[in-house]
Structure 1
Amino acid sequence: MGADGGTIPKRCELVKKKKKKEKLDKNVANATRWRLCRLSQEPLKRPIVACRLGNLYNKEEVLNAILSKRIGEYEVAKHIKGLKDIKELKLTNNKEYRESGADKGDIYKDHNIAPFCCPVTGISMNGNYPYV
């Protein structure tokens, strides 16, 4: 601890700072919110339902959770008590969207193109624009 000809440590070398929490990228959060079921985290498939908070679910998953009385176990669905709390959506397929398996990197793939779009304006339902 000294008298050996070494260097004298500075305060910044001794005091450790708290690590900052990692933030989830906004684009990734939008992609998961608009493409995956909030209960099962599986890709959305018809019929699709929405709750009053705007979360999207596969109707089959919600029905299974309600019938098995385990809907209250999910933090994202505690406010759903029955079928009156959800509304079935009539969504328009996006012609530009193509489901592909692995992204090999040999072609350009736009990750902002969503499977559904607005029937009037044609804007993708990807979370970047308001969708009604």
Structure 2
Amino acid sequence: MYAEKKPDKIDLHEQRLSKWLNCSLSNEPLKPPCVIDRLGNMFNKETLVEALIGKKLPKEFGYIKGLKDMINIQLEVVPSEGLGNARFQCPVSGLEFNGKYKFFSLKNCGHVLSAKALKEVKSSACLVCYKEFEECDKIVINGDEEEVVVLRERMEEDRLKVKDKKRKVKHGIVDVKGGDKVAGKMKGNGKVENVKGVSNGGSKRFKAADMVPANATKDVYASLFTSSQKNKFKETYSCRSLPLGRN
């Protein structure tokens, strides 16, 4: 009779449902506009932005540094007869957004689709807006530990690529057409000066003398494109054979 009261058992169904219908930061019901981070956690955008501005973001979400780490998502609301929190569904298959089914968010357009819809309708374009996407653009929502590890590795790879790109811009390493790379000092107008070299060999400069046709005089052919001989006379713009001072 005087035994300690046992704690109430946690309802796993309610816990799972809360993870899919509530903000991961405030635990309030999801309300558009909503965003997702690169690890598949969902947030109310306003709540997440306020936490970032106020520097009140928990350490577990420390990888979110700014708006570039948020992806706007578009959730399909289930038509509801009564009042209450909104529920969501896949716009293609109609499967409910409740944790029983796997869902993906497409990074390039933000539409949230069920894994079943993406599997049955094999396409490289979004099934809602028809915008092209790649496999790496798919972010699994509330994935398991293994899926989160894959997403975290992908996030770190993307950040390393961004850092490497910034480093190249800082040091003036610019990719040019054909895969060549030119190193130099970057000017304020975006141009490169003091070019040091070309990695894969630069393009050869055109010389008219190297393209002389058969039975043609080298000097005469070269004179069609540029002055091949230096002299003290000035030429007319209309005729190169009659320089001033000779006629």
Alpha-carbon distance in 1 for matches of 2:72, 2:101 = 21
Please state if 1:117 is matched with 2:103: no
The Cα offsets for residues 7-59 of structure 1, whole Å up to 9 and x where unpaired, read as: xxxxxxxxxxxxxx987433122111011111111111010101122111000
Q: TM-score normalised to the size of structure 1?
A: 0.65
Alpha-carbon distance in 1 for matches of 2:33, 2:25 = 14
Alpha-carbon distance in 1 for matches of 2:82, 2:59 = 32
- Give the structure, 1 or 2, with the largest relative contact order (CA under 8 Å, sep 6 or more): 1
Q: How many residues align?
A: 99
Q: Show structure 1 runs of 5+ residues with no match.
A: 1-20, 102-113
The Cα offsets for residues 44-96 of structure 1, whole Å up to 9 and x where unpaired, read as: 1010101122111000011101111222xx14422211111110101111125
Go from structure 1 to structure 2 and tell me whether the alpha carbon gap of 1:25 and 1:77 turns closer, same or farther (over 3 Å shift). Answer: same
Letter in 2 for 1:36: N
Q: Percent identity?
A: 38
RMSD: 2.4
Structure (1 or 2) with the greater helix fraction = 2
Q: Show structure 2 runs of 5+ residues with no match.
A: 1-6, 105-247
One of 83, 99, 105 as aligned partner of 2:83: 99
**Shift in Å, 1:100:** 3.4
Alpha-carbon distance in 1 for matches of 2:17, 2:59 = 20
Runs of 4+ in structure 1 off by over 4 angstroms are none
Secondary structure of 2:43's counterpart equals strand
The Cα offsets for residues 82-121 of structure 1, whole Å up to 9 and x where unpaired, read as: 11111010111112574339xxxxxxxxxxxx71100000
Structure (1 or 2) with the greater strand fraction = 2
Q: 1:1-132 maps to which residues of 2 (within 5 A)?
A: 24-71=10-57, 74-96=58-80, 98-100=82-84, 115-132=87-104
Alpha-carbon distance in 1 for matches of 2:64, 2:83 = 31
Alpha-carbon distance in 2 for matches of 1:77, 1:33 = 16
Q: TM-score normalised to the size of structure 2?
A: 0.36
